[in-house]
Amino acid sequence: MNSRKVVYLFYTTFLIGTVAGFIFGLILDWQTHLDDITSFAFGGLFMLAVTAAIWAVIAQMGFFAYLTIHRFGLGIFKSYQLWNKVQIVIIAFALFDLMFFRHYFFAAEDVSLTGYIIMPLLLLAYGLLIAWVKSKETDRSAFVSTVFFMVVVTTIEWIPALRENDYGFLLTAIVSLLAANTWQILVLHRLHDQPNGKQPGVKKKERPVIN
């Protein structure tokens, strides 16, 4: 990875995360934004774009932090197999915490835990899908690490929105984060193996950078 590739990864991730969050936020509250446009009041649209951009930057920070943690994990546990087992345990704890603590802090007394299971399960399902794609393009050893990144790291990045418990804010944030994180995890191995000066091209079987 040279500086040109890092810059490419940064600005493409920034654009993808920002555009995805902006479009979703626009659709989510379409009538309000339409009224703003017709009255030439663009403050709401500007704030929507800024918010989506912030989530995209947070996603990039989380990604590079995980690359460091991944290498530390491999150094500490000495093997991919053991490190993968540790990651699976952390994934389970993260999903349980996402369900339990949201119910504990925000649910009314007569609301059951069942409704709070949906969000973690959807996040897990999406993480498994992206991990399947990653492992198909690289190697099966990348599967667990990709699920860990898509579930655990995304959840950590999502914490500011989770604390607010506003569904509009939650959904706009997670769309930006997932779009940015999906792009980063799926483009990294292609970008890493490209000759210097070139951008990712046609998909091909490659060894994983994250596995």
Q: List the alpha helices (DSSP H) in the chain.
A: 3-28, 30-38, 43-77, 80-106, 118-137, 143-148, 154-164, 167-193
The pLDDT of residue 209: 47
Question: Shortest CA distance to 191 belongs to which of 135, 131, 138, 146?
Answer: 138
- Joined together, the tokens standing for residue 130 give 């992206």
According to the model, what pLDDT value does residue 202 have?
A: 39
* Radius of gyration, alpha carbons of the chain: 19
Residues in the chain where the model's pLDDT stays below 50: 201-209
Going through the chain in order, the beta strands assigned E by DSSP cover none
Q: Which long-range contacts (CB under 8 A, 24 or more apart) does 200-204 make?
A: 203/137
Give me the amino acid identity at 37: I
**170 with 162: CB under 8 angstroms?**
yes
DSSP state of 113: S
